[in-house]
Structure 1
Amino acid sequence: MRLDNKVALITGAGQGIGRAIAEHYAREGARVAVADLELGRAEQVALAIVAAGGNAIALGMDVTDEQAVEQGVARLVRHWGRLDIALANAGIQHIDPLHRLSYADWSRVLKVHLDGAFLVTRAALQQMYANGGGTMLYMGSVHSLEASPLKAPYVAAKHGMLGLCRAVAKEGAEHGVRSNIICPGFVRTPLVERQIPEQARELGLSEEEVVRGVMLKNTVDGEFTTLEDVAELAVHLAAFPSAALTGQSVVVSHGWHMQ
């Protein structure tokens, strides 16, 4: 198994992409700390992993709360003795044109994505440096690399996470830490499902037109990226054996963005 006995922390793992990665990591032998804003969701995922023969614990974690992040990381280290892989995955979305976007909504999106990623990174690096290395991963987006209308705070936050990932790759190298960012296209998660009617209302389109003419317009085959696609890439990046692959944005988007 590619992640045998590695200890992994995944934030926002109570559903969607985070849950898929947590379950895949466990199947590959990792001990997984399932962190989520809603402890009940995290517990359901951890129980499902254990029932399937894996090893997991649940953490209630608001990634915008400095103390909650520090305490969560400390708890998993007390439980398993180390932290090898951390994935900053927690995120939210807000749909609005810039001229009507409130500062509160702008700040909320950046706080979860970017401030949350920083807090998780800092806590994780302290453990990884002490242990002689590790892997820091981020859940970016094609929007880490290009923009779309109506998503300014999300685009700005995802671009910022790419910068953070690269900074970690530079600083972490001497401590044996690699850092990469996963950049999916549209995946049919609860977050994306909520966007479809929101964009339909804002653009005056049907929901099917949003899916085909907006979300999947620039893919090569008109297909959504799947949870399994993203989870497999997350395993590959966590298991990669050297710093030959660090500081990189890895796009999984059915050709929507090519670099």
Structure 2
Amino acid sequence: MAFIPHPDRRPVLIAGASSGIGAATAEYLADAGYPVALAARRVDKCHEIAEKITANGGEAVAVPLDVTDEQSVVDCVAKAQAALGPIEIAVSGAGDLAIGLSYETSSDEFASQVNIHLVGAHRIYRAVVPDMIERGRGDFVFIGSDVALHPRPWSSAYVAAKSGIDGLVATVQLELEGTGVRASIIRPGQTITGMGMNLDQKSTDAMLNDWIRHGLARHGNFLAPEHLAQGIGAIVAMPRGAHMRVVEIEAEGALTKKGTDA
């Protein structure tokens, strides 16, 4: 049976679009011709980005979203579809970062991180994928993290949640096989985003020193959100019949010598 080609119009819902990777992805996909719904708790920031996109000739709307609230997720999807049409692509990247040593992190703090990063992603998945299955096509991109492969101290809850995303994606890929819906995970390395910028300096210094001690900070280069946006763009643009299941993007290390044609 032949695969249903991608339609000319592929509306995108981006969770966590108020800054960082989500915002960069919204702008990148809009520039490529995708209608985009920017969703986040900071809907005012989403409105600013949506206005910038429309001013540049793209199509975008902003919708409020709290991934920890199931009704908010349901309402967000309904509003996005009312404005743009059926969601063909969803990108789940909402989250924040709380750090601390595992034995000093309260169970409530731990559960909060898991609720945002893991359960929140499942809420969005559950809200959009059944309709994709009914249509026989669709892309759902989970933003994971390389901490699932290389855990870092001071972020046990975040590591647990992102490791859970890996397990969730591996499972849903099996369940979606033959439905026409593709689930993918993109694992960023260290990236400059707004996430974690509210951390206190003392804890941040202690965390980074522990990363160095365990060999988890090979160099000081960071990815830009735009690098991840390009990766997500490549995933969803893949023609039907092929599936980019896992994409890992890491910052390139600093050059140790000048090129010969400098």
TM-score, reference length from structure 1: 0.87
Take 2:85 and 2:59, find their aligned partners in 1: how far apart are those partners? 14
The one-letter code matched in structure 1 to 2:173 is A
Deviates more, 1:138-147 or 1:106-115: 138-147
Take 1:37 and 1:47, find their aligned partners in 2: how far apart are those partners? 17
Residue aligning to 2:59 = 55
Residue number among 4, 15, 18 corresponding to 1:11 in the alignment = 15
Q: Spell out, residue by residue over 1:56-95, the C-alpha distance to the aligned partner (whole angstroms, 9 max, x if none).
A: 1111000111111111112222223211100110011111
Cα gap change, 1:215 to 1:88, in 2 (>3 Å): farther
The one-letter code matched in structure 2 to 1:239 is A
Residue number among 130, 150, 172 corresponding to 2:134 in the alignment = 130
Residue aligning to 1:152 = 156
Residue number among 114, 117, 120 corresponding to 2:118 in the alignment = 114
Deviation at 1:192, TM superposition (A): 4.1
Identity among equivalent pairs (%)? 32
The one-letter code matched in structure 1 to 2:105 is L
Cα gap change, 1:126 to 1:86, in 2 (>3 Å): same
Tell whether the 8 Å contact from 2:221 to 2:252 is kept in structure 1 after alignment: no
Tell whether the 8 Å contact from 2:14 to 2:93 is kept in structure 1 after alignment: yes
Cα gap change, 1:4 to 1:145, in 2 (>3 Å): farther
Deviation at 1:131, TM superposition (A): 2.0
Residue number among 230, 237, 244 corresponding to 1:239 in the alignment = 237
The one-letter code matched in structure 1 to 2:179 is H
Residue number among 223, 226, 229 corresponding to 1:228 in the alignment = 226
Cα gap change, 1:57 to 1:179, in 2 (>3 Å): same
Tell whether the 8 Å contact from 2:190 to 2:251 is kept in structure 1 after alignment: no
Deviates more, 1:29-38 or 1:77-86: 77-86
Deviation at 1:23, TM superposition (A): 0.4
Cα gap change, 1:147 to 1:243, in 2 (>3 Å): farther
Root mean square deviation of aligned Cα? 2.5
Q: Spell out, residue by residue over 1:123-170, the C-alpha distance to the aligned partner (whole angstroms, 9 max, x if none).
A: 110221122210010111111222000100000000111111122211
The one-letter code matched in structure 1 to 2:237 is A
Take 1:231 and 1:214, find their aligned partners in 2: how far apart are those partners? 30
Cα gap change, 1:19 to 1:13, in 2 (>3 Å): same
Structural mapping, 1:1-259, within 5 Å: 5-195=9-199, 197=201, 199-203=203-207, 217-219=217-219, 222-246=220-244, 248-254=245-251
Take 1:197 and 1:170, find their aligned partners in 2: how far apart are those partners? 43
Find the residue that maps to 1:190 and give its secondary structure.
coil
TM-score, reference length from structure 2: 0.86
Deviates more, 1:95-104 or 1:71-80: 71-80
Q: Spell out, residue by residue over 1:92-124, the C-alpha distance to the aligned partner (whole angstroms, 9 max, x if none).
A: 111110111111110111100011000000011
Take 1:4 and 1:199, find their aligned partners in 2: how far apart are those partners? 49
The one-letter code matched in structure 2 to 1:39 is V
Deviates more, 1:209-218 or 1:20-29: 209-218
Tell whether the 8 Å contact from 2:97 to 2:113 is kept in structure 1 after alignment: yes
Q: Spell out, residue by residue over 1:5-42, the C-alpha distance to the aligned partner (whole angstroms, 9 max, x if none).
A: 21100001011110000000100110000000122111
Tell whether the 8 Å contact from 1:196 to 1:211 is kept in structure 2 after alignment: no
Between Structure 1 and Structure 2, the one with more helix by share is 1
After the TM superposition, list the runs of 4 or more consecutive aligned residues in structure 1 that deviate by more than 4 angstroms.
Answer: 209-216
Take 1:211 and 1:225, find their aligned partners in 2: how far apart are those partners? 17
Extract unaligned runs of 5+ from structure 2.
1-5, 254-262
